[in-house]
Amino acid sequence: MNFKRDIPVRTYSGFALSALLVLTILTILLQSSVEKIERAGDKLLGINAQEGVANAVTSVVVYFRGFDTLGEIAVLFIAALGIGLMVSSHKSAQRHKEESNFILQTASKLLFPFITLFGVYVMIYGHLSPGGGFQGGVIIASGVLLLLISYQNFEVPHALITALETLAGISYVLIGLLGLWILDHFLGNFLPSDISDMGMLISGGIIPLIYIIVGVKVGSEMSMIVQNLIQRSDDE
């Protein structure tokens, strides 16, 4: 009787290797003491008041590190592009074979406006309360996802979404270039941003404007990504 004992060599060696690596990292991390030094963020908090924005994280994301946010938008844009490219062969396929539940359909029809409203609120008030463009955009996209799941024939209007996305992307870079031409800093804050306006809806100069642009772009891109990933042909 010969049977081969199946020793999962791969599993054991993988376990050993990862344990070794993680333990090394862990020992070094535990030995290093984290001193309470003054970091760049603390210095930014000091000068943040000049911008007149109540949410310090927003002013960091949009203004002090606005260029990183521009890059992040570019990554999301390219990802949506890539996913659209990959899935483009199954455009006209039906999503599910059966209609979904009557309760789901009614409820989603009722909920969608509120979800969208909430998303827009989070977007617009991003500089006053926790939230912002990314968060609001994703909330709107989740509303769209709900509709996509409930209704077989629902499709996000392609032309509208592309127009919104293009407009938002161009505006972001143009605002940056305007900052370059007016203030000699790319993405400089050239709209009025008095400290006296702190807490008002219109405050902080370009910051709420950019966050709304970001929200529109993220919302439209996430909706497209979600639709592309759901839309597949079922007759494989």
Partner 1 sequence: MSSIYFVALPLLFGFAVPLLTKLGKNGVAYTSTLMQAGLFILASTLLISTSWHVEIIAINPPLGISFVLNEASLFFVTLFTLLMMSFSFYYMGLRKTDPYENENKFFILINMLLASSIGLVLSSDIFNIYVFFEIAGISAYILSAYKKTPKALEAGIKYLLTGMIASVFLVFAIALIYIHLGSLNLAVLSEHFVTLPHDTKFLIGLLLFLGFGFKVEIFPLNFWVTDVYEGSSAPVDALFSAIVVKAYLFVFFHILYLFLPNSEYAAFLIYLGAISMLVAEIIALKQSDLKRVFAYSSLGQIGFIFSVMAAGSSEAVTAAFYIVLAHSLAKMMIFLSIASIEREHKSSQISTLTTLNSPFLKVIMVIAMLSLLGIPPPLGFTGKFLALKSFTVSGEFIVLAMIIVASLIESIYYFKITGALFAKGERREKLSLTFSQKGVFGILALALVVIGIAPWLISGFVHDASQVMLDSAAYLQTILGASK
Partner 2 sequence: MMSSLLDWFIQPDVITAIVAFGSMGLFFVGLFGLLTQRHLIKIFISISLMEAAVFLYFLGTIFHRELTAPILGDGHTAFTGMNDPIPHAMILTAIVIGMALFALGVSFAIEYYKLTGRTDINKMKEMGE
81 contributes a contact to partner 1 by CB under 8 A: yes
Residues 6+ apart with CB under 8 A from 190: 178, 179, 182, 183, 205, 206
Among 130, 170, 192, 201, binds partner 2 (CB under 8 A): 130
26 contributes a contact to partner 2 by CB under 8 A: yes
Q: Which residue, 69 or 108, is less far from partner 1 as judged by CB?
A: 69
Residues 6+ apart with CB under 8 A from 161: 220, 223, 224
Least distance to partner 2, CB of residue 214, Å: 10
Give CA–CA dist 127/57, Å, rounded: 8
235 contributes a contact to partner 2 by CB under 8 A: no
39 contributes a contact to partner 2 by CB under 8 A: yes
Q: In 3D, which of 170, 60, 41, 188 has the Cα closest to residue 126?
A: 60
* Region binding partner 2 by CB under 8 A among candidate stretches 78-86, 103-111, 151-159, 166-174: 78-86
Residue 126 Cα distances to 143, 147, 205, angstroms: 19, 26, 13
192 contributes a contact to partner 2 by CB under 8 A: no
Least distance to partner 1, CB of residue 152, Å: 27
In the block, which residue shows the tokens 């032309």?
Answer: 159
Fill in the per-residue mask, 202 to 231: x = in contact with partner 2 (CB under 8 A), - = not in contact: -----------------------x--xx--
Least distance to partner 2, CB of residue 95, Å: 14
Q: In 3D, which of 16, 56, 222 has the Cα closest to residue 138?
A: 222
CA 13 from centre of chain: 38
Residues listed for the chain:
236
Query: 183: which 2 tokens?
Result: 């203030």
Among 32, 92, 153, 196, binds partner 1 (CB under 8 A): 32
In the block, which residue shows the tokens 């009722």?
Answer: 110
Q: Which residue, 100 or 166, is less far from partner 1 as judged by CB?
A: 166
Residues of this chain that interact with partner 1 (CB under 8 A) are 25, 28-29, 31-32, 34, 37-40, 43-44, 47, 63-68, 70-72, 74-75, 77-79, 81-82, 84-86, 88-89, 162-163, 165-166, 169-170, 172-174, 176-177, 179-180, 184-189
